[in-house]
Amino acid sequence: MPQGNHIFTVSELTRRIKGVVEQGFTNVSVQGDISNLKHHASGHLYFTLKDEHAQLQAVLWRSRVMNLFFTPQDGMKIIARGNITVYEVRGIYQIDVIQLQPLGVGELQMAFERLKQKLSALGYFNPEHKKALPRYPERIGIVTSPTGAAIQDILNILSRRCPCLEVTHYPVNVQGAGAASEIATAIRDFNEYGNVDVMIVGRGGGSLEDLWAFNEEIVARAIYESRIPIISAVGHEIDFTIADLVADLRAPTPSAAAELVIPSRREMVEIVRNYYYNIEQFLDDFIQSHRKQIAAMLQSYSFNKPLDITRQYSQHVDELQRALFQAVSHHFVLAQQKLHALDKRIASVSPSLILKRGYTIISRNGEIVDSARKLHRSDGVQITYHDGKIPAIIQ
């Protein structure tokens, strides 16, 4: 290494520092609080790792972000494992994070509470947003692991309670890296597919870390935006997740979800029997009521004296016809008198009577000439008398 009066360029010195630092600090683990967390559009994650006395810049590349089982948050205590590198452009050292994990269960519980408060403020848990489950669904979608006990429990119970159900299983990972994204994608795909009446989303029991995919905001948002009703069935009865709070119905276990989504055959048979009994009672009451009405009709005066009633109505019809004829005759006489009066008035102004008194009508080309100014010398006209017409030339 050059010593003494050798003058370095900034790049040379930084590069030499980079070599020393990066060779001396590989695969180190450091504990601290996350702050200034930034999700870059590229998918990389930048943040500061600090304690009460110092801070360290950190970067988690996109390929590793995708492998996280939880979402880092500002204020979360974590353990980061990685290599110390020097970012030459800015002359700073940072930790290139290879693995990131919360510092114990307490940090996950705090993250749970923070997300719960956030989503509650956004209205994700409001009762008015909950959708009613169909009483008798025909098609059920299931989002869970293909290898866990949960899917077998659900299928066994559904087949026993209602063998005619159409069940579609969307297999996903339910824990570990990328599980939350897979669950959210499955929910959105079912909504796009649209051919299911209700969804069961869940898994069997496990630790808080195992269930964490169901505490991620991406899953909560997919459940909240779903048009299809969703039953959340995560873990055991004592387990509670964000997905449970957002879902339209929470089942304590996957088996309980299968029992809640569809009535048992025994229950449905009982319902049919009740319908049958109610219909039978209704029909019996209906028949008895009409029997009483018929008996009353048979004993009534109108039923036993039909001829008398017919004669009374016939007489009434005759009276109505007589009154109608009289009224019409009166109006006819008045109308006839008015008609004669109009005939006399029309006859008094008839053109033929005027022509008989010596008047004529002059017309040219079929049009009556009503002024001498309209005629010119040599015009051909027609003169109409009361007993005929003659042509004439204007001289």
Q: What is the pLDDT of residues 74-117, one digit of tens each?
A: 888 989 999 999 998 988 999 999 999 888 777 888 888 889 99
Residues 357 and 216 grouped into a single domain = no
Q: What is the pLDDT of residues 287-304, one digit of tens each?
A: 888 888 888 777 776 666
Residues 218 and 136 grouped into a single domain = yes
The residue among 302 and 134 whose pLDDT is bigger is 134
Q: Please compute the mean of the pLDDT values over residues 336-364 and round it to a whole number.
A: 80
Residues 117 and 228 grouped into a single domain = yes
Q: What is the domain extent for residue 329?
A: 305-346
Supply the pTM of this predicted model: 0.58
- The answer for residues whose C-beta is within 8 angstroms of residue 264's C-beta and 6 or more apart is 161, 162
CA torsion 310→314→315→316, rounded to 10°?
100
The three-state secondary structure class of 80 is: strand
Indicate whether 325 pLDDT > 80: no
Distance (Å, whole) CA 64 – CA 53: 28
Q: Please compute the mean of the pLDDT values over residues 55-66 and round it to a whole number.
A: 92
Where among 346, 361, 379 does a domain terminate? 346
- For 276, phi then psi, to 5°, come to -60, -45
Here the tokens at position 34 are 């996350």
Distance (Å, whole) CA 316 – CA 324: 12
Q: What is the pLDDT of residue 272?
A: 74
Indicate whether 177 pLDDT > 60: yes
Residues 84 and 34 grouped into a single domain = yes
Whether 1 is covered by a domain: the verdict is no
pLDDT, the chain, mean? 87
Whether 338 is covered by a domain: the verdict is yes
Cβ pair 77, 53 in contact under 8 A: no
Residues 235 and 143 grouped into a single domain = yes
**Total domains present in the chain:** 5
- The answer for residues whose C-beta is within 8 angstroms of residue 365's C-beta and 6 or more apart is none
Q: What is the pLDDT of residue 3?
A: 57
The three-state secondary structure class of 226 is: coil
The three-state secondary structure class of 189 is: helix
Distance (Å, whole) CA 349 – CA 88: 121
Q: How confident is the model at residue 261 (pLDDT cuts 50, 70, 90)?
A: very high
Where among 103, 126, 154 does a domain terminate? 103
Here the tokens at position 278 are 């109610």
Residues 36 and 119 grouped into a single domain = no
Long-range contacts of 300-307, Cβ-Cβ distance < 8 Å, separation of 24 or more: none
